Amino acid sequence: GAGPTGALGDFVTLSLDGGTLIGVVTEDGTTRLTVVDDVPAHRRAAAEADAAPRSAREQAAAWDALLGTPSGQLPLDAWATGLALHREAPDALLLQLLERDPDLLYRRLPPAVLATALTHPDRTIRQGVFEQQPLTRDQRSGMILAETDERTRWVLAMLAAERRDELTDEACERLATDPSPRIRLEAVRLTGLPAPLALRLTEDPEATVRSFARLTAWAHLDDATRRAVLEDPRPEVRRPALLVHHREHPLPHAVFASEELDTDALRSCLLADDLIDHVLRDGDPSQRAALADNPRTPTGRALRLTHDPDPGVRWNLALRADLTEEQRAAVEIDFDPAVHHFLPLWVFALHDDPEAMRRLAGSAHPLVRRGVARARRLPPDVVERLARDEDRVVQLFLAESCEDAPAEMLLRVAEWWTGSLSFPGRPRS
């Protein structure tokens, strides 16, 4: 209620059943009490009045009252946002909204609107289109080839590299030969960069570009060039090359120690037995966690971490793809169902394998079961099991993703889930 003006102060309260509203106002030593009984009936009456047909004059007065408010800009902005996201909004209107409402770029644009946005004079709009729209390889490449602003071209190249977007050979060559060193550096990171371009960049006049290009082109370098990079006196050049080299050749403890390599090496390299033994015996928790996370650590060696005192180590171990469900169940984990977790990608790779889904649906690890629930189609017995899962997020993911989700479970999820469904068009049941 409002601040106190008398002994009692001003306040409004509602009964626990929502049926009675009481208001108290104290002024000039007197207290006024207002009681509204049967609040639901008043609300129904107000709703019926609002829904009743209005005359043209009444409608005009309502619009004038809305547009004449001091905060008139707020409803206009809200309308623009609503129209930008409306599925039936015509192309001509969406073209007008391009510059007004950035939310427009978060929806799939109709072809005519997208064609205009791809070459829009405002570079922030062009950048937003590249970042938010599901473009084809030719569309992405065309934007890069047509971009004249150096900074925007750099941003587009960086986005393409980070998202592993594939580009045409022509676009790759354009970036690899760009006058800007920072753009050529992004070209080195492109997925599918043709080998001749990668090799050309190993001779780039910019030292940083050369160093990264040699890593990208490693498979195409001759033995003498590889050896020269591995023996380079500069650690910033030599160490990244060692990580690439030891993806194929076992990394011994002596090299790991002398080069002062970190957990990235333990997580990504093929490790020699003496290095694995060292980490198991003397490694710190971060090193043991990296060892458990490395899929090429032999299963038997990794299982020696089953009762590790560090919860992070046990967490990584429990999510390994090579464990049986009995082995996974033996690993004690600290799991908070309210915390957001990334699901193990190896479970997604098995979505089309009914027997694997049946086995993993009974996993002791909630994230494994959540990963199974993300499958589009599942055997009936797996659906039945997940629909009764003790982890409510498993049921939510099943409702969002699986076309076989049972109606009873959908209704049950709808009773407690107050958020939006993250997979549009689902559930369809």
- Tell me the pLDDT tens digit for each residue of 201-219: 999 999 899 989 999 999 9
The reported pLDDT for the residue numbered 309 is 98
Query: How much of the chain exceeds pLDDT 90, in percent?
Result: 66
Confidence of residue 66 (pLDDT cuts 50, 70, 90): low
Q: Looking at per-residue confidence, does 17 or 152 come out higher?
A: 152
pLDDT (0 to 100) of residue 23: 81
Chain position carrying tokens 């106002």: 25
Residue 64 pLDDT grade (very low, low, confident, very high; cuts 50, 70, 90): low
CB 351 within 8 A of CB 375: yes
Does residue 4 have a pLDDT over 70? no
Q: Which residues on neighbouring strands pair with residue 36, listed in sequence order?
A: 21
| pLDDT at 291 exceeding the cut of 70 | yes
Q: Is the pLDDT of residue 2 over 50?
A: no
Terminal alpha carbon distance of the chain: 45
pLDDT, the chain, mean: 88
pLDDT of residue 426: 53
Mean pLDDT computed over 402-417: 92
- What is the Cβ-side half-sphere exposure of residue 365, based on CA atoms within 13 angstroms? 29
The domains of the chain are located at 1-35, 256-334, 347-419
Comparing C-alpha atoms, which of 95, 141, 100, 147 is closest to residue 119? 147
In tens, the pLDDT along 121-132 reads 989 899 999 999
Helix pair angle (207-216, 235-245), 10° resolution: 10
Average pLDDT for 311-330: 98
| Whether pLDDT at 74 is above 60 | no
Q: Kindly tell me if the per-residue pLDDT of 59 is higher than 90.
A: no
Q: Tell me what pLDDT residue 255 has.
A: 97
Using one digit for the tens of pLDDT, what is the confidence trace for 22-47? 888 777 667 777 888 887 887 777 77
Q: Name the least confident of 272-276, 344-348, 420-424.
A: 420-424
Total-model pTM = 0.66
Confidence of residue 1 (pLDDT cuts 50, 70, 90): very low
- Give me the mean pLDDT over the 290-317 stretch: 98
pLDDT at 69 over 80: no
Assigned token pair, 159: 């986005």
Q: What is the pLDDT of residue 209?
A: 94
Instruction: Report the distance separating Cα 231 and Cα 209, nearest Å.
Output: 18
Query: What is d(CA 83, CA 67) in angstroms, rounded to the nearest whole number?
Result: 17
Instruction: Identify the band that residue 92 occupies on the pLDDT scale cut at 50, 70 and 90.
Output: confident
Inform me whether the pLDDT recorded for 243 exceeds 70: yes
CA of 267: how far to CAs of 207, 261, 320, 324, 389, in Å? Answer: 27, 11, 13, 21, 33
Confidence label for 7 from pLDDT (cuts 50, 70 and 90): very low
- Whether the per-residue pLDDT at 425 is higher than 70: the answer is no
